[in-house]
């Protein structure tokens, strides 16, 4: 009987991104000596956990996640604190798992969802639909098909000769399509893609791709929907590779700028940060598009730097997105 192969095509954009990421990750591995990686590991782990949980609706801030990482108590909904503890433990365990071993996948779900669902560590026993607001956007396969579908997917991952960047993205999409668990599919899918990538380059354990996905959350779900409509995961592959490339670019920037834990030691401003804040001082109603035009940087770069400045408490958005204004706190 023919083995299952997920349907996907490789676009020119995908092939270009694979080449660019491969080149960038090689440079990152060489440039960032172990001391820098150790120094950045904590803040990157915080970003990874906060980003992945925020996609699922968690309201915990980066400061709160950092406090939990440090073993401190935080005032927050108990469920969200439990989610954070579970995610921190799961990412701390990631090097002990192998991506094609089913028992490791079930163990990861057990760690990620302990105290949150009754069937942690087990495939779902009921039908499930993926909701967007009040609308069902995806009906997952019947529960009785899940063990076979997951066995086929894990077997494909183990035997395929596809580049890890593409294979990890295909797996991520197929995993979300199957929706094997009653809850926690999003965070496990993102965790497992990081695991697959870390077997290719260990440095991926310290690159917070999940944080980048959170910044483009609507596009993440749109890419999943487009792939389902086309019966081809190409849109999702392209999206995830772009997020991975952007996350690597930011990680390289953080290393070269000497960023340390910005929550405790302050953010070292880059030249573009100073330009952004100067432009905001001159016009507090300036938009991201105008900032990009006047600084000569891409809008995605502007959005990343603004988020970093906001997290560091240097700028604050007052009012609505369209009618509000910027307040500087330096």
Give strand pairing partners of 316.
Answer: 327
Domain end marker among 233, 256, 279: 256
What is the tally of structural domains in the chain?
2
Exposed/middle/buried for 167, CB within 10 Å: 0-12, 13-18, 19+?
Answer: buried
At 9-56, the pLDDT tens digits run 999 999 999 999 988 887 766 555 444 555 567 778 888 898 899 988
pLDDT band of 3, cuts 50, 70, 90: confident
Same-domain pairing of 275 and 215 = no
- Portion of the chain with pLDDT greater than 70, in percent: 87
Same-domain pairing of 72 and 182 = yes
Domain end marker among 222, 256, 290: 256
Domain end marker among 208, 227, 256: 256
Same-domain pairing of 20 and 97 = yes
Q: Which tops the pLDDT comparison, 250 or 262?
A: 250
Same-domain pairing of 230 and 278 = no
pLDDT of 45 reads 84
Residue 92 domain-assigned (yes or no): yes
At 191-223, the pLDDT tens digits run 999 999 999 988 888 888 988 898 898 899 899
What is the C-alpha separation between 147 and 313, in angstroms, rounded? 47
What is the C-alpha separation between 191 and 187, in angstroms, rounded? 6
Where residue 208 sits, what CATH number does that domain have? 1.10.3290.10
Where residue 306 sits, what CATH number does that domain have? 1.10.10.10
Residue 1 domain-assigned (yes or no): no
Same-domain pairing of 201 and 278 = no
Range of the domain at 159: 12-256
pLDDT of 190 reads 93
Q: Which of 127, 122, 119, 121 is closest to 143 using CA atoms?
A: 127
Scanning the chain, the segments in alpha helix (DSSP H) are 12-31, 34-55, 62-69, 78-93, 102-113, 146-159, 164-178, 185-200, 209-215, 217-230, 234-256, 262-265, 271-282, 288-295, 299-311
Residue 80 domain-assigned (yes or no): yes
């Amino acid at each position: 009987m023919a083995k299952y192969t997920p349907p996907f095509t490789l676009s020119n954009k995908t092939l270009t991104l694979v080449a660019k990421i491969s080149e960038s990750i090689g440079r990152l591995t060489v440039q960032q000596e172990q001391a820098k990686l150790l120094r950045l590991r904590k803040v990157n782990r915080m970003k990874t956990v906060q980003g992945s949980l925020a996609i699922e609706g968690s309201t915990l801030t980066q400061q709160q996640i950092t406090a939990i990482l440090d073993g401190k108590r935080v005032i927050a909904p108990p469920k969200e604190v439990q989610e954070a503890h579970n995610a921190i433990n799961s990412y701390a365990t990631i090097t002990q798992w192998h991506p094609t071993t089913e028992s490791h996948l079930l163990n990861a779900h057990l760690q990620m969802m302990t105290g949150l669902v009754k069937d942690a560590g087990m495939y779902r026993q009921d039908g499930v639909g993926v909701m967007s607001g009040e609308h069902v956007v995806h009906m997952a396969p019947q529960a009785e098909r899940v063990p076979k579908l997951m066995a086929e997917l894990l077997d494909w991952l183990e035997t395929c000769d596809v580049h890890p960047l593409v294979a990890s993205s295909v797996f991520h999409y197929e995993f979300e399509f199957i929706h094997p668990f009653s809850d926690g599919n999003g965070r496990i899918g993102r965790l497992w893609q990081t695991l697959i990538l870390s077997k290719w380059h260990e440095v991926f354990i310290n690159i917070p791709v999940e944080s980048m996905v959170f910044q483009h959350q609507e596009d993440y779900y749109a890419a999943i929907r487009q792939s389902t409509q086309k019966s081809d995961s190409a849109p999702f592959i392209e999206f995830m590779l772009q997020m991975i490339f952007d996350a690597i670019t930011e990680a390289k920037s953080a290393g070269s700028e000497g960023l340390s834990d910005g929550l405790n030691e302050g953010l070292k401003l880059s030249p573009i940060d100073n330009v952004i804040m100067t432009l905001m001082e001159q016009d507090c109603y300036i938009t991201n598009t105008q900032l990009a035009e006047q600084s000569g940087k891409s809008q995605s770069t502007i959005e990343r730097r603004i988020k970093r400045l906001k997290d560091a408490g240097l700028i604050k958005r007052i009012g609505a997105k369209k009618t509000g204004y910027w307040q500087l706190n330096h």
